[in-house]
A and B are shown apart, each in its own frame.
Chain A
Amino acid sequence: MKGEGKSKQKLAVWKFASCDGCQLSLLDCEDEILAVSEAIEIANFPEATRRVLPGPYDLSLVEGSITSQHDAERIRQVRAESEYLITIGACATAGGIQALRNYRDVREMASVVYASPQYLDTLETSTAISDHVPVDFELRGCPVNKQQLLEVILAFLHRRKPNIATHSVCVECKLRGNVCVMTAHGTPCLGPVTQAGCGAICPAYDRGCYGCFGPMETPNTAALTAQWKAMGVSDPDILRAYRSFNGYAEAFKTEAEKHE
């Protein structure tokens, strides 16, 4: 098929330190992926295709966190080649679970996993993409919600703001008709301080939210912590709850430090 008129906008998908799950979310859009590939030129997406078109790119989706000097340099190159740069997932937006290294001596950690850590190029910290380059939009989640990912791509194509709610998981629980697991079952839940987007799945499966979409806009972590303490949750457990998949997001990081 040739002669489609104007040329399509070019999409690139980049990976840094991550599990691949967020970019896989795009391939998991089984009903939409072929239509997406018709609306936008998939110009650089190594997990899906060996064909690489040269930059610049109209939209870059960036997965993963910065954990090596090589990657700290590569993200600058990606930014330079991208008109819009959108980070996808907890690693790219907050450093990810691997940001747990930020509280440890990385050389000592390396020696736990690797017999010869001197071979490794690794930084002391795992940090968000926005700590290194300007980012146009951050999509949360560990992993991202694929419908939200499609919304972000669609919004970009139409040059409008993505319609992504910043309220808490509590709102999604009400929308879904979940019983509150804190009130009804006494289960500690991070839902009141965590951004919506997952569809409140944990409470729907009788467990407390574990914060994989990161802090909501203006979270009241102090109030939630007080409630958890009243329920008998220990400081080490509160610390671990905040210091997990989004533990290096500012609001969760600060709250966790109060329980060290």
Chain B
Amino acid sequence: MSEKEIRTIKVDYLARVEGEGAMHVKIKDGKVDDVKLKIFEPPRFFEAFLQGRRFEEAPDITARICGICPVAYQMSACHAMENGAGVRVEGAIRELRRLLYCGEWIESHGLHVFMLHAPDFLGYDSAIEMAKDHRELVQMGLRLKKIGNDIGIVLGGREIHPVNVKVGGFYKAPRKRDFLKLVEDLKWGIEAAEKTIQWCAGLPFPDFDQEYEFVSLRHPDEYPMSEGRIVSNHGLDIDVSEYEEHFEEEHVPYTNALHSVLKERGSYFVGPMARFNLNFDKLSPRAQAAAKAAGLDGQCLNPFKSIIVRAVELLYAFEEALRVLENYERPEVPAIEVDPSGKTGFGATEAPRGILYHRYGVLGNGDIRDAKIVPPTSQNQKTIERDLYRFVPQYIDLPDDELQWHCEQAIRNYDPCISCATHFLKIHREEVS
């Protein structure tokens, strides 16, 4: 294909991501000139209409930002309110929250690994098409995912927008016997997740190791979910309340999602790979061993291999959920008293796709004065664009449809959640001679 020829690749609506987005790759004289991720998902203004709502409503309202990771929103909102009130949730209630988060990681990673990402590696349009040739594999994935949802149903009342979460804990703590059926499922899940890691390790990966600044929570005693300091491999180590001193959001014309950058260093990387690289030592011995056997000895720098990392986190989440259930003793009260009135609270938790930051100012009467929410996909947007700048040249000689598919895959590496980030994809490839 001649460099003078004008080639346009269009994906007006990126598939197998959550939400509405497009991508624009401009190629000038055979070189990538410009890459834009466009999020055209219409804005919903959550931060604005949270003003004047009760602080107790924040978990239920912000859950509606995302149907794939509502628990993440609920957890960040609760932690922010509790931070404002100066209280901490401990013991069995804290363990139940961890269990619910494990359920969401399993549901979300199960969805992404098997239904959204795997078909790219095997050349299928969807998991449904893939199931025609790989039925057992897809069925295993669906069962894994279902177990995550079942945790949400037992503990949360339902899998999407669970009703049982409240600031301070839960409305009702399940009895130990309510969880009995899950125990055998979780044991099966541990075995199945291990098989998933092995299967993912055998997929074909392009060589694409890159330098990134990885950012995630880090906790002294555990693989991070709801608590910890915000750290990076470039020396960042801050309290959650210092987040806005180090990160800022930019509003750029072509997208309805704000771009989040590190003030001093620009783009950064959140999500499973960041957590894995910064917290490998906190994974269970079994998850560490499975990752090493899959070729990831504590470090993964190729975003295409994020599918393996998600599978490792699946294994960890199954083990952790089982640990919680086996040690569970029903708490005497399902929630503690929390009153953040007149205070400002900060919360950051590890959504399946990475750090989800919330900040609330609460008036003296308990009404929300102001709110700030930074979802993971906003934070990864610039990194996704940067990946495409570097990735496209390797494949620039491919026919349009193949190049397009590779670009889509490079984007899906991040499991972007556009519904979250609006506050994503057309591929337009333009060659300008």
Q: Which A residues are within 8 Å of any B CB, using their own CB?
A: 1, 15-25, 27-28, 30-31, 33-34, 37, 42, 46-52, 67-68, 70-71, 96-98, 100-101, 104, 106, 108-110, 112-116, 119-122, 126, 142-143, 198, 201-202, 204-207, 210, 212, 237, 240, 244-245
B329: CB under 8 A from chain A? no
Docked Cα-Cα span, A245 to B44, in Å, equals 13
What number of A-B contacts does a CB cutoff of 8 Å give?
Answer: 191
Contacts of B16 in A (CB 8 A): 46-50
B125 to chain A, nearest CB (A): 4
- Contact, CB under 8 Å: A34 / B419: no
- Contact, CB under 8 Å: A109 / B48: yes
- Contact, CB under 8 Å: B128 / A48: yes
- Contact, CB under 8 Å: B172 / A206: yes
B102: CB under 8 A from chain A? no
Docked Cα-Cα span, A112 to B48, in Å, equals 6
Give the contacting residue for B158; candidates A46, A119, A120, A198; CB below 8 A: A198
- Contact, CB under 8 Å: A47 / B67: no
- Contact, CB under 8 Å: A96 / B256: no
Most chain A beta carbons < 10 A, residue from B14, B43, B46, B253: B43
A15 to chain B, nearest CB (A): 6
Question: Given A24-B160, A112-B45, A204-B157, is A33 in contact with B142 using a C-beta cutoff of 8 Å?
Answer: yes
Docked Cα-Cα span, A195 to B16, in Å, equals 32
Most chain A beta carbons < 10 A, residue from B53, B139, B161: B161
- Counting from the closest, the 3 A-B pairs by CB-CB distance are A21-B67, A49-B126, A109-B48
- Contact, CB under 8 Å: A47 / B43: no
Known: A34-B131, A98-B44, A100-B49. 11 other contacts (CB 8 A): A24-B18, A31-B142, A37-B131, A96-B64, A108-B48, A110-B48, A113-B48, A113-B258, A120-B43, A201-B158, A240-B53
B393: CB under 8 A from chain A? no
Contacts of B135 in A (CB 8 A): 34
- Contact, CB under 8 Å: B48 / A202: no
A176 to chain B, nearest CB (A): 12
A152 to chain B, nearest CB (A): 17
Q: Which B residues are within 8 Å of any A CB, using their own CB?
A: 13-20, 40-49, 51, 53-54, 57, 60-61, 64-68, 70, 107, 111, 115, 125-129, 131-132, 135, 138-139, 142-143, 145-146, 149, 157-161, 163-164, 166, 170-172, 250-253, 256, 258, 334, 370, 405, 408, 417, 419, 423
Shortest Cβ distance from B155 into A: residue = A205
Question: Given A33-B142, A114-B251, is A20 in contact with B19 using a C-beta cutoff of 8 Å?
Answer: yes
Docked Cα-Cα span, A207 to B14, in Å, equals 39
A253 to chain B, nearest CB (A): 15
Most chain A beta carbons < 10 A, residue from B15, B53, B61: B15
- Contact, CB under 8 Å: B67 / A15: no
- Contact, CB under 8 Å: B171 / A104: no
Docked Cα-Cα span, A20 to B417, in Å, equals 10
Shortest Cβ distance from A18 into B: residue = B419
